[in-house]
Structure 1
Amino acid sequence: MTVHPFIEAEKQSGHNVKRACELLKVSRTAFYARRTGIPGPRRQRDQALTEKITAVHQYSRGTYGAPRIHIVLRREGEICGRRRAARLMRDAGLTGRYRRRRPVTTVSDPGATARPDLVTRQFTPGPAAVNSRWCGDITYVPTEEGWLYLATVIDIASRRVVGWAAADHLRTELVADALQAAHRQRRPTDVVFHSDRGCQYTSAAFAALAKNLGVRLSVGRTGQCWDNALAESFFSTLKGELLDHRTWPSRATARVSVV
């Protein structure tokens, strides 16, 4: 804290320092701390609390934010307000981790054309049925740039991903690109594509694309994840073995790793 020159002049002239500090609204503690170079009691207390806050933050592996650190301090008998703990964390450059709100990838369109379920949970593999039944779904990957959305097309017989697409949006183009990629790679003559009732899959644009490609569309029931169990299982494995084990600085790095 910089002390006003007027106070220094008053001190040197023998005048009352208390009165000079009052006029300039400067505490005498700050004045004498400035002259002696010794931090005041509050500053010393902040330094001690910052050391304990840092220790708790490191013990939590960087996960605790101000609310949980405040609880730990109170549990250990430290008198420290939550706002003070938050301020000291900001000053020390400490932040906690928080769970991002998961995006909703399946939003049904009540006005969409009704389609039958042509798969009826029959996800048993069989080499004779290759390129006769596909299934697909959408998942999301958190990155420091934002969400990366991934759409896949899986051949039910071989359990192989035959087409995929990734983007920063959930528009119909995402699932359309995945289906087109699968069709270019496999060139099926008669194939059923099964999905959930998300608005991307039940849109008129996706139906027109499927018709042009000669793909028959199939959908499961609303709220029944087992109706698309193979796609759900694939994403669970992908997240468990790859996506959930590290942080992704950008959508590009996540996209390359998925490929």
Structure 2
Amino acid sequence: MWQNNYKAYGAPRLRLALADLNLHHGINRIRRLMRSAGIYSVMSRRFNKPTTTVDYSQRPNLIKHLPAANAWSMDITYLKLNNGQWVYLASVLELRTYQILSHQISTTMDTRLVLITLQRALSTHQKPSYLHTDMGSQFTSFGFENLLNHHKIDHSYSKLGHPYDNARIESFHSLLKREMIYQFRFPSIAHLILDVAKYIHWFNNERISIANRKMKVA
């Protein structure tokens, strides 16, 4: 159970997983058994990424006013292959369900990457009223703004100095790295693409969310 879930489950989520199998144990007992078996949730690591320079301008920040049922969030993160090459993952997150609607990996971090990712999400899901991003040059480009205007989607931006405005999708990218990326090696971009797709399927459909369980109980 622990091994088959990217070694990501600590005692709280293992307790929920066991309860689904009608095996009910206290949290302290599960922690003791984990220690004796040498089982632990994967630990986070520092992940240094290249830096980029972006020109900022006045853009609307609507994130605190977005109705979750009507909003998506989008971001790009950096991943590294065995040979040290940086590649780039763009993802679209639905804020209400906290599910990844589409993703794309590329060797270049350009407007085309975000256009393809957003178009994939729009082709399989009902369009949102709002899309929130940071103010990276890919998201402020004419091509990206034109696509949003074509679909009549309002664009919300994280304010300069307020990176946590886009925290939910940044949290997903952090989980991806801690729960999967740091555990494996990727000899080629093809291997990375396959493993990221498998992880996202698991994240959307199988990963136990303690927060969601609490909401259902409430």
TM-score (norm 1): 0.54
- Count of residues in correspondence between the two structures: 151
Kindly indicate whether the alpha-carbon contact (under 8 Å) linking 1:133 and 1:191 is maintained by their aligned counterparts in 2.
yes
Which structure has more relative contact order (CA 8 Å, sep 6+)? It is 2
- Structure 1 unpaired stretches of 5+: 1-98
Query: CA offset at residue 144 of structure 1?
Result: 2.8
Partner of 2:62: 118
Percent of aligned positions with the same letter in both sequences? 32
Larger radius of gyration: 1
Decide which of 191, 196, 202 is 1:253's aligned counterpart.
191
Map 1:205-244; keep pairs closer than 5 Å: 205-244=143-182
Calculate the aligned-residue CA RMSD, in Å: 2.1
- Residues 122 and 239 of structure 1, relative CA distance in 2, 3 Å threshold: farther
Decide which of 33, 54, 74 is 1:108's aligned counterpart.
54
- Structure 2 unpaired stretches of 5+: 1-45, 198-218
Provide the C-alpha distance between the structure 1 equivalents of 2:102 and 2:189, rounded to a whole number of angstroms. Answer: 19
TM-score (norm 2): 0.64
Kindly indicate whether the alpha-carbon contact (under 8 Å) linking 1:136 and 1:152 is maintained by their aligned counterparts in 2.
yes
- Read off the aligned partner of 1:109 and give its amino acid letter: D
Kindly indicate whether the alpha-carbon contact (under 8 Å) linking 1:141 and 1:150 is maintained by their aligned counterparts in 2.
yes
Provide the C-alpha distance between the structure 2 equivalents of 1:173 and 1:133, rounded to a whole number of angstroms. Answer: 22
Query: CA offset at residue 100 of structure 1?
Result: 8.9
Query: CA offset at residue 122 of structure 1?
Result: 6.4
Tell me if 1:177 matches 2:116: yes
Kindly indicate whether the alpha-carbon contact (under 8 Å) linking 1:225 and 1:232 is maintained by their aligned counterparts in 2.
no
Provide the C-alpha distance between the structure 2 equivalents of 1:133 and 1:157, rounded to a whole number of angstroms. Answer: 8
Map 1:40-119; keep pairs closer than 5 Å: 102-104=49-51, 107-110=53-56, 114-119=58-63
Runs of 4+ in 1 over 6 A off after TM superposition: none
Provide the C-alpha distance between the structure 2 equivalents of 1:101 and 1:156, rounded to a whole number of angstroms. Answer: 27
Partner of 2:74: 136
